[in-house]
Amino acid sequence: MPWKERTAVDERTAFVTAWQRQEMSFSALCRGFGVSRPTGYKWLERFDAEGPPGLVDLSRTPLHQPRALPEALRARILEMRAQHPTWGPKKLKGRLERLYPDLAWPARSTIGDLLRREGLAQPRAKRRRTLPYSAPLAHAQAPNDVWCADFKGWFLCRNGQRCDPFTLTDAYSRFLLRCRHVPKTDGPHLREILEAAFREFGMPRFIRTDNGPPFGSTGLAGLSRLAVWWLRLGIQPERIQPGCPEQNGRHERFHKTLKAETANPAEANLSRQQKRFAEFQTEYNFVRPHESLGLKTPDRFYSASPRRFPDRLPEFAYPFECTLRRVSAAGHINWIQHQIYLSVLLENEDVALRPVDDGLYEVFFGPLLLGWMDEPSATFQPCKSPPRSARA
């Protein structure tokens, strides 16, 4: 025979029933049920007032909560969350404080609790993280010191059209300069987008990219035609180490946000997808608070570069005595009745030859040391390590 389980409500009901029979004194009844006289009176009074439901435990929640979140603030938090479904408590609090500075907004933890109670947030699974790598962008001390460029990675619109977004951000301020779909991920299409950005915002000192085309190549000094154009404009290309996307971590993290806000799900076609990119660019630059910026927006930290885009490409000014040679369409330079091959990427460009020893010359293209030319053997030896800048 199974044991019969009795709940607290069963015990209270038996207590009331025994008292109604008047078989023993109240003190003896309380001792028999193991409760105090005040507790016994409490259950009798609640039974007389409410009947059997009065014997059920009541909620311990205070009837008055002076520190509870006011309904007006709660409504505005949920409204802001509805407008920005991917924002967490930090960004919501930062945006609300900027819009309504006179209101006393609750702590981020309180906003997080509200989102969880409303079923609008789920706790993140904890994972082990590597130490942050900040060295590659440590020199971004002001706007336009470093711009970061990359392709987000293609995806399909709902009608099956392929979308290849190209993105360009300022490393210091996180300001999104360009977010454009490109018909083809090659140099000519990117040059058109970059030229428009240079005309609108001026030019940076460095542009950081990965090593793939059209940013880099396996040729001389890793140059591409796009990189040659940047050098002529006075912009230094910076390429991360192969297989090390964390060296451009700020831009990679931006792509995660871009995907969540614009491509999950994708729009119906390319036209509507580009419109969504434009809306996101405005929100990202002028509305969305950034934790790395103290929950301020990028527009408060960004200003256009004073280095304006020129009408014609300037010539290099070398800080040392040198001899200039024009690279032919086949990639050669002429030197004392010899044709010495450099690279077809330098077609119709001038390189500088700087004597360093008897018959040995350093070969520069603007600030980059490309390698060494040996006059007796009429050969060129390219740099095997990353090219260094010219020194006087």
Walk along the chain (392 residues) and give the pLDDT tens digit of each residue: 455 677 888 888 888 888 888 878 888 888 888 889 998 888 888 888 888 887 888 777 666 666 678 888 888 888 888 888 888 888 888 888 888 888 888 888 888 888 888 888 776 666 544 333 334 444 789 999 999 999 988 999 999 999 999 999 999 999 999 999 999 999 999 999 999 999 999 999 999 998 888 998 888 888 999 999 999 999 999 888 766 666 677 788 889 999 999 998 999 999 999 999 999 999 999 999 988 889 999 999 999 999 999 999 999 999 999 999 999 999 999 998 899 999 999 999 999 999 998 889 999 999 999 999 999 899 999 987 655 444 33
183 SS3 class: coil
Report the alpha-carbon distance of residue 193 to residue 198 in Å, rounded: 9
Check if the beta carbon of residue 14 is closer than 8 Å to that of residue 60.
no
| Alpha helices (H) along 100-248 | 108-117, 187-201, 225-232
Residue 127: predicted pLDDT:
55
- What CA–CA distance (Å, rounded) separates 266 from 269? 8
Q: Which of 126, 182, 152 is nearest to 264 (CA)?
A: 152
Which residues have C-beta within 8 Å of that of residue 367, sequence separation ≥ 6? 231, 236, 389, 390
End-to-end Cα, the chain, rounded Å: 100
Per-residue DSSP letter, 322: -
Helix (H, G, I), strand (E, B) or coil at 256: helix
DSSP 241: P
Query: Tokens 């946000």 belong to which residue?
Result: 257
Q: Where are the beta strands (DSSP E) in the chain?
A: 146-151, 155-156, 162-163, 165-170, 176-181, 206-209, 236-239, 323-326, 332-335, 338-341, 350-357, 360-365, 368-374, 379-382
How is residue 391 written in tokens? 């020194």
**Helix 71-83 to helix 89-99 angle, to the nearest 10 degrees?**
110
Name 357's bridge partners.
Answer: 360
Angle among Cα 142, 145, 244 to the nearest 5 degrees reads 115
For the entire predicted model, the pTM comes to 0.72
CA distance 183 to 128: 39
How high is the pLDDT of residue 212? Answer: 85
- If we measure between CA atoms, which residue out of 285, 136, 142, 307 comes closest to residue 210? 136
- Residue 135 has what pLDDT? 41
Degrees to nearest 5, angle at CA 311 with 352 and 144: 80
User: Would you list the DSSP string of 25-69?
Assistant: -HHHHHHHHT--HHHHHHHHHHHHHHSGGGGSPPP-S-S--TTSP
Tokens 């991360």 map to which residue?
240
Residues contacting 347, CB < 8 A, separation 6+ = 327, 328, 329, 331
Helices vs strands, H then E, count in the chain = 10, 14
- β-strand partners of 362: 354, 372
CA atoms of 221 and 141, how far apart (whole Å): 27
d(CA 56, CA 153): 60
Residue 131 has what DSSP assignment? P
